[in-house]
Chain A
Amino acid sequence: GQNIDQPTEMTATEGAIVQINCTYQTSGFNGLFWYQQHAGEAPTFLSYNVLDGLEEKGRFSSFLSRSKWYSYLLLKELQMKDSASYLCAVMDSNYQLIWGAGTKLIIKP
């Protein structure tokens, strides 16, 4: 079967750095996406990786290793507004998104 694994919850301190890991097993691979979802709101697109390596976008970076079926989302200089759930999703060979359950990130002052 297909599945995406990511931690259920993480806690970090304002101003610090946090890394949210995602491992996946899917039938085929056409890219990996990270989304941010604040409580009560719809997800918003953060990043897309299809080739190995690091994609940096401001305070957020996303890394992919296809050989290890692994990705991480790195958040730097954490702000209180970064408290949200972070969803990892992989597009399989049918171009369907397989979703992880999300990682709830709690930022403490």
Chain B
Amino acid sequence: GAVVSQHPSRVICKSGTSVKIECRSLDFQATTMFWYRQFPKQSLMLMATSNEGSKATYEQGVEKDKFLINHASLTLSTLTVTSAHPEDSSFYICSARGGLSETQYFGPGTRLLVL
């Protein structure tokens, strides 16, 4: 299957700082990328959908000024958690959609811990 990378895999930061997470589709072009958040033992929660070259579409309840998404190219999308707080600690997973079946392929995820 297609490969999606995500960096960093794990980050610990102080409250109030900003954290940037990168998501790359390595062997295909992804016109659409998705950002999910998953708390322990809970379902995936879609945060936003991002299309290359346009503004991201955020799900209800997700603050667009707090979770900045940039999809600058067909292979790269970034999520910046601004002024992170302990309640933002979670597992953030990106996915990229590609191929004839429009399958979503997931990155390995980024575990964020805000102290």
Tell me the A residues contacting B by CB distance below 8 Å: 30-31, 33, 35, 40-45, 48, 50, 87, 91, 95-97, 99-102
Contacts and interface: CB of A to CB of B under 8 A. Distances in A.
Contact of B102 (A40, A95, A99): A95
Nearest to A31: B101
Contacts of B108: 41-42
Question: Interface on chain A toward B: helix, strand, loop, or mixed SS?
Answer: loop
A87 B91 CA distance: 17
A45 B1 contact: yes
Given A96-B49, A99-B43, A101-B43, A45 B102 contact: no
Most chain A C-beta atoms within 10 Å of own C-beta, residue among B34, B49, B105? B105
Contacts of B43: 99-102
Contacts of A35: 106
Given A45-B106, A97-B46, 18 more contacts: A31-B101, A33-B103, A40-B91, A41-B108, A42-B6, A42-B106, A42-B109, A44-B106, A45-B1, A45-B105, A50-B101, A87-B44, A95-B102, A97-B34, A99-B43, A100-B43, A101-B43, A102-B43
A91 B103 CA distance: 9
B93 interface: yes
A67 B84 CA distance: 46
A30 to B, nearest CB: 7
A15 B102 CA distance: 33
A91 B97 CA distance: 12
B44 A48 contact: no
B104 A41 contact: no
Contacts of B91: 40
Interface string B87-115: 00001010000000111111111000000
A47 B108 CA distance: 18
A41 B109 contact: yes
Contact of A42 (B1, B46, B49, B107): B107
Contacts of B109: 41-42
Name the 7 nearest CB pairs between A and B, nearest first: A42-B109, A42-B106, A101-B43, A42-B93, A43-B106, A48-B101, A42-B108
